[in-house]
Amino acid sequence: MLPKINTLSGYLYEYQKSVANPEAFWENIAENFYWHKKWDKVLEWDRDGHNVQWFVNGKLNITENIFEKNLFILGDKPAIIWEPNNPDEPTVTLTYKQLHEKVCQFANVLLQNGVKKGDRVCIYLPMVPEAAIAMLACARVGAIHSVVFAGFSASSLADRINDAEVKVVLTSDGNFRGAKSIPVKAVVDEALESCPLVEKVIVLKRTSIEVTMKPGRDIWWHDAIRGVSIENKAQEMDSEDMLFILYTSGSTGKPKGVVHTTGGYMVYTAYSFANVFQYNINDIYFCTADVGWITGHSYIVYGPLLNGATAVMFEGVPNHPGVDRFWQIIEKHKVTHFYTAPTAIRSLMGYGTEPIERHNLSSLKVLGSVGEPINEEAWHWYHTHVGKGNCPIVDTWWQTETGGIMISPIAGVTPTKPAYATLPLPGVQVIIVDNEGNELKGNNVEGNLCIKFPWPSMIRTTYGDHERCVNTYFSSFKGLYFTGDGVKRDADGYYRILGRVDDVINVSGHRLGTAEVENAINSHPLVIESAVVGFPHEVKGQGIYAYVVLDAASKNHDPEKIKASLLAAATKVIGPIAKPDKIQLVTGLPKTRSGKIMRRILRKIAEGDATSLGDTSTLLDPGVVKEIIEGALVPV
C-alpha cells in the first residue's frame, strides 16, 4: 500500500518535504511500484521548452502494477462492480483475477489485429466494463488509447481519430442511457467515412440494435475474443512512453490532444487517490464520471485499480428510472466513497430529500466533488442530506492537463470549508499571479492560478503539436504552468477556485471552447457570424448564450425555426452538450476598431447585468450594444 497522510501535521510535514526536495519526495513514492528497471534520474526539466521527464529511463508496464504486483493478495477481490442502466439487469462483478484475464485476452486480440506499441487506438464506448478492459489492454500492449466520450458527434469523433492517426476503433452497437438507446455504431460509420487510416473496428454487442458491419474492417467483440488466450506478457514501456491522449477544449481552435505518459501518471494518480479519498482496502468506491473524461481515466480506472480498490462503474444517468438512482446504487453496493459533480448535486437537489430518505446511506464515509466550482448551497445540501453531516467533502480541483487532483482536502484530515478546494496536495506548488505575471504573495489575494514546479502527472505535450502546448500553457506567464482558472487565497491560506478566466466555458462540468461552439453555429448556411459566452445557470453551473447575426436571406424564414436548426447544428458538429441554452438573433456584434469581439460586454448582458458595461467608447458601433440589451433574453 502507498504511504498515506493521516493527520494535519502529517500533511504539513509531507508538503514541506515535497517542496524542499521534490525529487526525493516522488522517488520515495515511486519505490512502491513494480519497475522492470528503475530510473536513472527522477526529474529532467527544461523550463522554457516545456520538456519534462519523470523517472528518466525507468521501465515498467502500468497494468503489471494493477495486476501482477497485487494478484496474490487481491485475486478474488472485486475490481469493478458494474451497475447497468436498467436496474433489472444483473450487476456484473469482475474480480482482479477475472479483470486481469479479460485484459490479457483483449491485449492478445489487439496484437492479432495488428496493433503495435505506439499505435493509437480510439475507444468510443459507453460505460461498460469493456471500456476499462479496452483501456487497460491498450496499456498492456503499449498502444496509446484515445477515449472519446460516446456523446460526441460523428464529426467530433472523426476530428479526434484523424488528429491522432488512429489505426483501430473500439466501439459498441448502441448505448443505453436513461430511457434512450443511442445508435453508437452508426455514428462511428459516419465518422469513418472521413478517416482513411482506420483499419479495424471491433464492435461490442450491447443493445442488439441492427448495425451494418463492413467486411474486412468490422469485427464483433465476441467473435474477436473467441478462443483467444488469457495469457499475455506485458510490453515493457519507458517511463515517458505515451499512455494516452485525451482531447479537451481550450480557448482557441479545435480541441487538443492532451498527452500523458506512463511512469509519472501512474505514480501521481495512485498517490492522490490513496490520500485524497483515504481509501481502505475493504471500501467500495463509486465515481459517477464517464471514462470519456479525465476523471474517468484517473479516478475510475487507473488510480483506484492501482490501489487495489473496488470501483463501482455505472452505465446510466442519475434520474433513470427514478431520481433516486444514485442513492439506490449506494445502498445496494454499500458504497463508502461517492465522487460526483456539482451539476448532478444541483439537479438532484431539485427533487428534495425524500428520494434520499428512501435509502440507507449509512455506508458512506467520504464524499467528493469535481468538474466545476461547487456553490455553498449545493455543498451544504450534499454534506447534510447525503453525508448526514458525518462525511468530509473533498472538493477536488484539477484538470485534464494536470492528470490528477491538485488542490483538495485530504478526507478527514484537512478541515473543510464550503466551496473551497482548500490546500494543494504534496508536490503541488501553487502560485497566484496578477495579469502582468507578478506574484501575489500572502493571504487575501485573488488572481490567476499557476503552478511553478513540475509534478509527475503533468501534461507532456499536445499530440502532434508541441508548440501549441508551450503556447497554450507556458507562455502566458514566464516559467509557469497557467491553468486558465481564477483563484482566491483567503485569510486562512485556503484556495477557492473562481472559474475560468479564458474563453472556456464549463457546462455541467463539460469543458467547451466558445470558439468551438461558434464554429458549429457558423456552419449553418444562414449565419454570418456569432459570439458565444457563458452565463450563470442554476443547475449546469454555466449555460451557453449565443448571439447570432443572420444573413439577409433569413428574412424569409421563421426565426424560431432558424433557432431550432442552430441547435441542431451544434448537436451535429459537436454533440448535444454544446446546444446553446439561449440564442439571441442580433444585427451586429460589439467589436473594437480592430475587429475583436468584445466578449466582456456580451458576458455582462448574458448575465443580466447591463448596468456596468465599462468603457464602450472604443467600439466600432456603440449602437449595437443598446440594441442587444433591448433584445436580451432573461437568464434562467
**Contact footprint for ligand 6R9 (CB under 6 A):** 248, 293-295, 369-373, 395-400, 421, 483-485, 497, 499-500, 506, 511
The backbone torsions φ and ψ at residue 517, rounded to the nearest 5 degrees and listed phi first, read: -70, -40
Tell me the torsion sign for CA atoms 373, 379, 383, 387: negative
Residues 6+ apart with CB under 8 A from 193: 158
Q: CB atoms < 10 A from the CB of 212, how many?
A: 8
State the DSSP H helix or E strand holding residue 602, giving kind and residue range, or none if neither.
Answer: helix 599-607
- Quick one: 211 or 276, whose CB is closer to ligand 6R9? 276
**Closest separation in Å from C-beta 521 to ligand 6R9:** 22
Q: Is 118 left (phi over 0), alpha (psi -120 to 50) or beta?
A: left
d(CA 420, CA 373): 8
State the DSSP H helix or E strand holding residue 488, giving kind and residue range, or none if neither.
Answer: strand 481-489
- Quick one: 95 or 251, whose CB is closer to ligand 6R9? 251
Tell me the torsion sign for CA atoms 243, 249, 250, 256: positive
**Closest separation in Å from C-beta 341 to ligand 6R9:** 8
Q: Distances from the Cα of 363 to the Cαs of 92, 342, 390, in angstroms?
A: 21, 21, 11
- Quick one: 129 or 292, whose CB is closer to ligand 6R9? 292
- Quick one: 135 or 341, whose CB is closer to ligand 6R9? 341
DSSP string over 531-596? EEEEEEETTTEEEEEEEEEEPGGGGGS-HHHHHHHHHHHHHHHT-GGG--SEEEEES---BBTTS-
- Quick one: 221 or 398, whose CB is closer to ligand 6R9? 398
- Quick one: 431 or 632, whose CB is closer to ligand 6R9? 431
| Side-by-side strand order, sheet with 200-204 | 218-220, 200-204, 168-172, 120-124, 144-147, 242-248, 256-261, 461-462
In contact, 164 and 131? CB cutoff 8 Å: no
**Closest separation in Å from C-beta 92 to ligand 6R9:** 27
d(CA 532, CA 548): 9
- Quick one: 159 or 485, whose CB is closer to ligand 6R9? 485
- Quick one: 85 or 506, whose CB is closer to ligand 6R9? 506
Strands 120-124 and 582-586: unpaired
- Quick one: 270 or 370, whose CB is closer to ligand 6R9? 370
**Closest separation in Å from C-beta 368 to ligand 6R9:** 9
d(CA 397, CA 401): 12
**Closest separation in Å from C-beta 462 to ligand 6R9:** 13
**Closest separation in Å from C-beta 618 to ligand 6R9:** 29
Residue 437's nearest CA partner among 428, 429, 447 is 447
- Quick one: 64 or 502, whose CB is closer to ligand 6R9? 502
**Closest separation in Å from C-beta 17 to ligand 6R9:** 25
- Quick one: 201 or 512, whose CB is closer to ligand 6R9? 512
The residue written with cell numbers 482566491 in the block is 488
d(CA 257, CA 144): 12
- Quick one: 530 or 542, whose CB is closer to ligand 6R9? 542
Q: How far is CA 271 from the centre of its chain?
A: 19
**Closest separation in Å from C-beta 214 to ligand 6R9:** 33
DSSP string over 23-90? HHHHHHHHTTS--SB--SEEEEEETTTTEEEEEET-EE-HHHHHTTTTHHHHTTSEEEEEE-SSTTSP
Say whether 341 sits in a helix, a strand or coil: coil
Q: Distances from the Cα of 96 to the Cαs of 66, 99, 407, 623, in angstroms?
A: 9, 5, 30, 66
